[in-house]
Amino acid sequence: MKPEIKNMAGGLAGALILNLVHETAKRVSQKAPRIDLIGEEALTKSLNAVGVSAPTGNKLFGTTLAADLIANATYYAMIGKGPRKHLLLRGAGYGLFAGLGAIGFTQKLGLSDKPVTKTTETKVMTVAWYLLGGLAAALVIKKVGEIDDERSGILELA
């Protein structure tokens, strides 16, 4: 299997885990980060800046969720670049950097950071969930690589 496909499979897994945790937590905790609100604000401001009306309601949510999944999957897929022995370390690094970036750069990008900085718990959850996504991506990339290695070994013996 091509490395790009392995990496995208891992990236997609990390993005799905991240978004599942976010979507579940926002329904059960007032302190949960609301990355979705930041995404919606970013999409709306970006479209309005180029003279396009942004969707509203469920269409805005769906469009933002799709864009978030694609962006996070692409970002997490980069974890697969480099030596295999450092996959988990890279996964942790990418996840940690994304989480810290979400809390530290949102306001600098002209967006409200309140959805991810409202409490210390919110900040910790934000970083932890991006870290979880990075580790999930790394583990999937690692496992897919191992399965691919086993198949290659079987083919070589045949």
Using one digit for the tens of pLDDT, what is the confidence trace for 122-134?
A: 999 999 999 999 9
Each residue's pLDDT tens digit, 81-93? 988 889 999 999 9
SS3 label, residue 144: helix
Rounded to 5°, the CA angle 65-118-23 comes to 25
pTM: 0.89
What is the C-alpha to C-alpha distance for residues 14 and 20, in angstroms, rounded to an integer? 10
Domain with 69, as residue range(s), is 3-157
Average pLDDT of span 49-64: 96
- Number of structural domains (the chain) is 1
Residues 67 and 118: beta-carbon distance below 8 Å = no
If you write DSSP's letter for every residue of 10-77 in order, what string do you get?
A: HHHHHHHHHHHHHHHHHHH-TTS--HHHHHHHHHHHHHHHTT-PPP-HHHHHHHHHHHHHHHHHHHHH
91 contacts: CB under 8 Å, gap ≥ 6: 14, 76, 79, 134, 135, 136, 137, 138, 139, 141
Please provide the size of the chain in residues.
158
Average pLDDT of span 145-150: 72
Each residue's pLDDT tens digit, 101-113? 999 999 999 999 9
- Output the pLDDT for position 2: 84
Residues 93 and 134: beta-carbon distance below 8 Å = yes
